[in-house]
Every structure is written in C-alpha cells, then in structure tokens.
Amino acid sequence: MIKFDSSYINTIIEKNFIICIGVFAIIPFLVISIYNNPSADDFCYNIISQKYGYWQANLFAYNNWNGRYLTSFILTIKSFVSDSFIVYKFIPIVLFSLLFFSIYYVFAIFFERIEKRYILTFGFFIMTMYLIQMPSISQGFYWLPSSISYQLSNILSVTFFYFLLKFIKEKKTKHLLISCLIVGYVIGCNETSMLLINFLIVTIFVYISINNKKVEKSFLILLIFVITYSIIVFIAPGNSARSSVFSNNHQFVYSVLNSFIDFKKYILYWLPFIIIFVLYYFNNFSLIKDSFYSKLFNVNPFVVFITVFSIPIIGFFPGYWSLGGPPPLRVINTIYFFFLMGFMYFTFVLYFYLKEKEVTFIKFSNWVNYLIVLLILIKLTSNNNIKTAYADLFSGQAYHYDLELKKRYQLIDQASQNTVKVSKLKNEPKTIFFDDITSDSEDWRNDCYDNYFNREITIENAK
C-alpha cells in the first residue's frame, strides 16, 4: 500500500507556490509583446527627432512640452519606432526583465545570506501583485512614451534604493555618488516619481538626523542633488505650455480633497488582495530557521506606516494640481508600485519588530493556509490583467491586431495616391492596445501618423 506523505506535499507547495504563480503571471505579458505596435505619441517623437535632429528635438520638448529630460532623451531615439517595429516589440520584454531583476537585487540587499530561492520568491511575489492590480497594463509596459516615463522610472527608483541601501550598509562613497546619479534619472522621467522621491528622501534624511542627533551630511548631499534635479524639471518652459491646455488646474484645496478621495478608493481596492498574499508569504517566510535580521529593518514601524500610506495621497496630488482632474492610469500605475514596495517594506519592519519582542507575527494551521491559497487562486481566475493577457493571446485577438496593422502598413506603403483611407481596427486587445488614429484628418494623432508615413491617412467608416 502506498503511503501518502502530506507533509512532503505541503513542503513542495510552500517552497514553490509563489514562484509558480509568478511564472504563470509573467509569461503571457512576455509572449504578447511580439504583437505590440506603436501609436499616438510614438510617431510624434520620431517626427520631432527627424525634423530637428536628436539634440534639438530634446531642447524642443523641454521648451514646449515638459521638463522630463530623461524621457525625451530616450523617446527621441528614432530606431525605437522605425522599419518593422522589431525594436519596439522587444522593449516591453526588456522592461519586464529589468523590473524583476531590480526587485530581486534590492531584496538581496536586505538578506545577503538567505537562499536565492527566497529572493526569487519575493521577486515573483511583487511582480504578481503588481501585474494583477495595476490600473493599465497597456500604458504600463506596451505604449512606449508611458512605459519609458513611468515603468522605467519604477525600475530606476528600485535601482536607486539598491545603491542607497548599499551606502547605508557599507558607507562607501561610490555608492552615494551612484545614488546621486541615478536619482537624477528617476526625477527626469516624470513629475509623480519626482515628488515621491523628494518626499521619501526628505523623510529618510529627517529620520536619520533625528536618530543620530546630528545632520547626516551624506544624506544632505543627496537631498541637494534631488532638489537640483527637481528644479531643472520644474522650471522647464514646456510645463507652462502644457498646463495651459488643461482647465481647473492649480486649485490647491480641490487637489488635496480629491487626492484623499482617490486614496480611499484605491486603497480599498488594492489592500485586500495584498494582505491575503502577504499573509501567505509571511506564513512561509516565518518557517525559515534563521531570518537573517538586517539593521535596515531597524526603523520605527509607526513612522514607516505613516510614510507608506502617505505615498498615494502625494502621488495623486500632481495630477489634480497640473491637469485639473484625476491623473491618467499610467500615473496610478507608478503610485501603486511605490505603495506596494513601501507596504512590503513595512511588513518586514513590523515582522522583525514583533519578532524582537518575541511576538508571533503570522502563523496559521494548514487549513487556514489552504484557504488563503484558494482565495489567491480565485483572484487569479477572476477578471484581472493576467486573465485578460491570456484571453488576448488564446482568442487570437493580439495576433489579428498585429496582422491588421501589418496589412495597413503595407497598404500605406503601396498606395499610389497621397491620401489613404484605412479600415478601423477590428481587434483591440486590452493588454497591448492603447490608441489609434481617427477619421478627423486634423487630429494630432493623425498628423503624427501622416508625417511618419509621408501620407494623409484617416480611418474610413469610423464611428
């Protein structure tokens, strides 16, 4: 008679469940990248670069649109949107990879002696939590102006904290200098990341200075760099030109009030699943015989809690202040990422704080653990970004979307007349589709499209 060893099965599940879920979550987003195509501002940046040349194009963007200097430097690289768009299709894959490894290495800073499997588990944990609840996948990874402005800023932010934590641990000047350099890249991506980084660095500077009862000179230097980079973004002439397009902006009370309203709305949406997944994660993390306590967690939990839950409020504010309305979903993607990473840091701080006081943080029976696993599986199979990505792939919608556009490009290329009517797209996969041209020849999207293909192109029979 074969003996059923439930403890062995339990061990396998505990060790590999999150990694398996993470791989399952990421795969469709990597595969679907091959069907991605440029749209909207993608063609605009290419045209600006062709018209003015690379450096003049960046100066034009700074003076006429915004102060995002790093974003402009990257988006005006013509080869990103050219030929058969092969480079464009691979950019999301690069961003996914960089995001995962940046998370992996920053976690490794906290636990240098822990098994790599546990570090991988954390990386897949964050990626799954991020992908399943981020407001817009298409704006997060597949539409280039957004992915460079916001997703790259997330990657650079994690990389920045990696070197900052290295400096805190090892006190090597080179790590401080690298931090000062990378934080400039973060600030040069978008205003939301800029504001959040300013907030976090000021908070860290004040906290460390109070704890040490003296001004921490190294962090003062970093703060000076942060402020300098922020001024470069803030004084850009393009900011005024851009803000003039939006009404009801620069209303302080309105902006603060709506920031709190959005905070409540999104926290109530994000937190339940985060907490469920965190409970499962720490129930298994606590099984490690030696959790390798790091002094980087030796922070007052209350201070961390207040800081982390301030992130969404501060993140929502620039949208209402500058746009006069709610921030775009691509901005909320970044707010969610900062909050998610911050919340995980808070849970580790709380975990070790309670452990030091010999209080059990989380410990469940197997049946409770099974229930949590069931809730996670229910969430994964409900309507969410991961399920949508698989649906876009298996339904063939992503494939036919790419095929439709290839036929359109061929039609435009072979057209004998300057004016070309193209069909409205029948397939618009939610994962990768962002925007398209319209039936209005005066529309700015059409104008960029026309200049890129050197034709007058409009949608026929557009509703």
**What are the pLDDT digits (tens) for 284-333?**
776 665 556 578 888 999 999 999 999 999 999 887 877 777 889 999 99
Rounded to whole angstroms, how far apart are CA atoms 376 and 379? 5
Q: Could you give phi then psi for residue 363, rounded to 5 degrees?
A: -155, 115
Cβ–Cβ < 8 Å for 229, 55: no
Q: Determine the distance from the C-alpha atom of residue 79 to the mean position of all C-alpha atoms in its chain, rounded to a whole number.
A: 24
**Total Cβ atoms within 10 A of residue 267:** 15
Closest residue by Cα to residue 286 from 214, 352, 201: 352
Q: Which residue did the predictor score with more confidence, 265 or 13?
A: 265
Per-residue model confidence as pLDDT tens digits over 85-127: 899 999 999 999 999 999 999 999 888 777 788 888 899 999 9
pLDDT bin (cut points 50, 70, 90) of residue 80 is confident
Q: Give the CA angle between residues 35, 37, 43 to the nearest 5°.
A: 170
Which of 27-31, 70-74, 214-218 ranks highest by mean pLDDT? 27-31
As a whole number, mean pLDDT of residues 172-189 equals 95
Of 136, 37, 150, the closest CA to residue 83 belongs to 37
375, 279 Cβ separation under 8 angstroms: no
pLDDT of residue 363: 67
| Digit-coded pLDDT (tens) for 49-67 | 888 888 898 888 888 878 8
The three-state DSSP-derived secondary structure of the chain is CCCCCHHHHHHHHHHHHHHHHHHHHHHHHHHHHHHCCCCCHHHHHHHHHHHHCHHHHHHHHHHHCCCCHHHHHHHCCHHHCCCCCHHHHHHHHHHHHHHHHHHHHHHHHHCCCCCHHHHHHHHHHHHHHHHHHCCCHHHHHHCHHHHHHHHHHHHHHHHHHHHHHHHHHHCCHHHHHHHHHHHHHHHCCCHHHHHHHHHHHHHHHHHHHHHHCCCCHHHHHHHHHHHHHHHHHHCCHHHHHHHCCCCCCCCHHHHHHHHHHHHHHHHHHHHHHHHHHHHHHHHHHCCCCCCCCCHHHCCCHHHHHHHHHHHHHHHHHHHHHHHCCCCCHHHHHHHHHHHHHHHHHHHHHHHHHHHHCCCCCCCCCHHHHHHHHHHHHHHHHCCCHHHHHHHHHHCCHHHHHHHHHHHHHHHHHHCCCCEEEEECCCCCCCCCCCCCCCCCCCCHHHHHHHHHHCCEEEEECCC
Mean pLDDT value across the chain: 87
Q: Interior CA angle at 143 toward 138 and 148, to 5°?
A: 115
pLDDT band at 6 (very low <50, low <70, confident <90, very high): very low
Q: What confidence tier does 382 reach under pLDDT thresholds 50, 70, 90? A: confident
User: Which band of pLDDT confidence, cut at 50, 70 and 90, is reported for residue 9?
Assistant: very low
| 151 pLDDT above the threshold of 60 | yes
Instruction: With beta carbons less than 8 A apart as the criterion, state whether 318 and 195 touch.
Output: yes
Per-residue pLDDT at 5: 45
User: Has this prediction a pTM greater than 0.85?
Assistant: yes
Rounded CA-CA distance 373/275 in Å is 13
Digit-coded pLDDT (tens) for 244-263: 555 666 677 888 888 899 99
Task: Classify residue 285 as exposed, middle or buried by CB count within 10 Å of its CB (0-12, 13-18, 19+).
Answer: buried
CB 246 within 8 A of CB 71: no
What is the arithmetic mean of pLDDT over 141-159? 95
pLDDT value for 344 = 94
Sign of CA dihedral 298, 300, 305, 310: negative
pLDDT of residue 166: 93
Instruction: Give the residue, 419 or 360, on which the prediction is more confident.
Output: 419
458 DSSP β-pair partners: 421
* % of residues, the chain, pLDDT over 70: 90
Higher pLDDT: 49 or 400? It is: 400
Q: Categorize the per-residue pLDDT at 355 as very low, low, confident or very high, splitting at 50, 70 and 90.
A: confident
- Higher-pLDDT residue of 2 and 202 is 202
Query: Which pLDDT band holds residue 180 (cuts at 50, 70, 90)?
Result: very high
